[in-house]
């Protein structure tokens, strides 16, 4: 009979205080939507940064008159260096084609440079982007090598910006979660206050504290859960909107900003657990005040 009583009581209470319940649900939904979106963005930034970092490349430009021995020496060295993940030789024809493609919007420049003036080069990927400088120094000034180009400083800037961004987003998410908890506690406290007569009668006739508490806890739990489900919908929407925006507006810089369904499931799990915990805890703390004997 108890389970039936608690279910019925929770249902009636939710319906009878539907405006308050809605307020609580919306509070949870909005807070958790923000938290969830923040987490998603953080994950996206994190994968994007990893992608950018993985893309650190050294371009070893070769002198036009490099001798085969010098070329083999450079290649051998690349083979031996543990810091080198892989490398490939870009022959003149391909280098010229790349050059034409990249600068297609500047036809004057493209036409002024003959194929013979385009240098050949080796494209080198590294195991650890942090070693870029050191590896570049090895080849700089080596016979047959013209210059070594690295995009290390650019990557460095991106990494710093992304670290700061992730910290800020995480801080915002935590602040939002805490304010969500406080808001829920207050909403449920008001809901309980509006039912203090019932609680007073229950205590008067000898209902145990747990008996009085359970419907309120269930109510908070249901509110937290519904709010979390709404937030889940919002987060799924946010994810597809981000995906759409990146592909539709050709934001190539953000191509690494990939949100996997694994990210999504993780975020949803966090949201649902947070909703349930915050709802139940909030109502438990709120009802305890009225039960202080």
- Which one of residues 141, 204, 261, 262 is an interface residue with another protein (CB under 8 A)? 204
Residues in CB range of 80: below 8 A, 6 or more apart:
none
CB 224 within 8 A of CB 26: no
Asked if 85 interacts with another protein (CB under 8 A), we say: no
Asked if 163 interacts with another protein (CB under 8 A), we say: no
Question: What is d(CA 67, CA 65) in angstroms, rounded to the nearest whole number?
Answer: 6
- Which one of residues 198, 229, 277, 284 is an interface residue with another protein (CB under 8 A)? 198
Asked if 207 interacts with another protein (CB under 8 A), we say: yes
Strands 84-90 and 57-62: unpaired
Nearer to another protein, 130 or 212 (CB): 212
Nearer to another protein, 5 or 193 (CB): 5
CB 28 within 8 A of CB 279: yes
CB 189 within 8 A of CB 286: yes
Asked if 211 interacts with another protein (CB under 8 A), we say: yes
> Smallest distance from the beta carbon of 210 to another protein, in angstroms?
9
Asked if 212 interacts with another protein (CB under 8 A), we say: yes
Q: Which stretch binds another protein (CB under 8 A): 64-72, 154-162, 192-200, 263-271?
A: 192-200
Nearest of 66, 52, 61, 58 to residue 87 by alpha carbon: 58
Q: How many CA atoms lie within 13 A of 262 on its CB side?
A: 4
Asked if 209 interacts with another protein (CB under 8 A), we say: yes
> Smallest distance from the beta carbon of 45 to another protein, in angstroms?
51
Please give the residues from 15 up to 74 whose contact with another protein meets the rule CB under 8 A: 16
> Smallest distance from the beta carbon of 43 to another protein, in angstroms?
46
Nearer to another protein, 131 or 198 (CB): 198
- 28-58 burial, b if ≥16 CB within 10 A, otherwise e? bbbbbbbbbbbbbbbbbbbbbbeebbeebbb
Cα first-last separation, the chain: 27
Give contact residues for another protein (rule: CB under 8 A). 1-2, 5, 16, 197-198, 200-209, 211-212, 293
């Amino acid at each position: 009979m108890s389970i039936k009583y608690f279910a019925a009581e929770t249902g009636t209470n939710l319906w009878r205080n539907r405006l308050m319940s809605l307020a609580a649900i919306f509070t949870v939904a909005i807070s958790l939507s923000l938290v969830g979106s923040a987490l998603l963005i953080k994950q996206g930034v994190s994968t994007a940064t990893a992608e950018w970092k993985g893309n650190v490349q050294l371009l070893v430009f070769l002198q036009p008159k490099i001798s085969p021995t010098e070329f083999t020496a450079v290649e051998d060295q690349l083979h031996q260096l543990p810091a080198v993940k892989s490398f490939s030789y870009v022959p003149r024809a391909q280098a010229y084609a790349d050059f034409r493609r990249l600068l297609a919007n500047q036809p004057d420049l493209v036409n002024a440079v003959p194929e013979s003036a385009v240098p050949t080069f080796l494209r080198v990927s590294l195991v650890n982007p942090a070693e870029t400088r050191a590896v570049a120094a090895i080849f700089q000034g080596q016979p047959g090598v013209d210059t070594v180009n690295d995009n290390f400083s650019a990557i460095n800037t991106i990494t710093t910006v992304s670290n700061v961004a992730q910290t800020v987003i995480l801080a915002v998410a935590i602040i939002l979660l805490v304010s969500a908890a406080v808001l829920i506690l207050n909403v449920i406290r008001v809901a309980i206050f509006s039912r203090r007569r019932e609680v007073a009668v229950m205590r008067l006739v000898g209902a145990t504290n747990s008996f009085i508490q359970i419907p309120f806890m269930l109510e908070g739990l249901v509110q937290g859960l519904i709010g979390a489900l709404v937030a889940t919908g919002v987060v799924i929407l946010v994810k597809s909107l981000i995906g759409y925006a990146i592909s539709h507006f050709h934001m190539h810089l953000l191509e690494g900003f990939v949100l996997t369904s694994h990210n999504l499931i993780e975020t949803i799990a966090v949201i649902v657990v947070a909703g349930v915990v915050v709802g139940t805890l909030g109502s438990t703390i709120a009802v305890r005040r009225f039960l202080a004997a």
